Amino acid sequence: MIHKTIEPAINIAQDSETFGARLARLRRGLGLSKTDVADHLGISITAICHWEQDRSRPKSARLQTLADLFGITTAELLAEGNMPGRQKLADLVARARAEIAQAAGTVPSKVRIVIEI
């Protein structure tokens, strides 16, 4: 019997993450449903689904609202090559923002976190 080494599954790095995958990750990171995001933007759930499936992209006016909702810049939202360390920080901040908002009885988009380095 010949034993063959099976290569471990390769995780796709977040630096190759598509806009849709990033949007879905950020949304889930804040504990928001597609309905929550659609309601916040005043659009259909179908539009959110299409964005997350990379079938379409939001217009520039919606990009700023999305970025504000997630507490990031539009450049970070659109970035096709985020550095992994920076992404971990963004995820941590998004989770903290969601927890602070919940504790304060508000929405994450109203919570601002400043990091001084």
Q: Which CATH architecture has domain 16-110?
A: Orthogonal Bundle (1.10)
- The model carries a pTM of 0.59
Are 108 and 69 a contacting pair, CB within 8 Å?
Answer: yes
Residue 53, pLDDT > 80, answer yes
Share of the chain above pLDDT 90, in %: 32
Half-sphere exposure of 87 (CA within 13 A, CB side): 18
pLDDT in tens, 60-87: 889 999 998 988 888 888 875 544 556 6
What would the pLDDT profile of 15-28 be if each residue is shown by its tens digit?
A: 578 889 999 999 99
Question: With bands split at pLDDT 50, 70 and 90, how would you rate the model's confidence at 42?
Answer: very high
Residues 6+ apart with CB under 8 A from 51: 19, 20, 23, 57, 58
Average confidence score pLDDT of the chain: 79
DSSP assignment of 43-101, as one string? S-HHHHHHHHTTS----HHHHHHHHHHHTS-HHHHH-S---HHHHHHHHHHHHHHHHHH
What's the pLDDT at 71? 86
Domain ranges across the chain = 16-110
Dihedral over alpha carbons 102, 99, 64, 34 (to 10 degrees):
-70
Cα atoms in the 13 Å half-sphere on the side-chain side of 10: 4
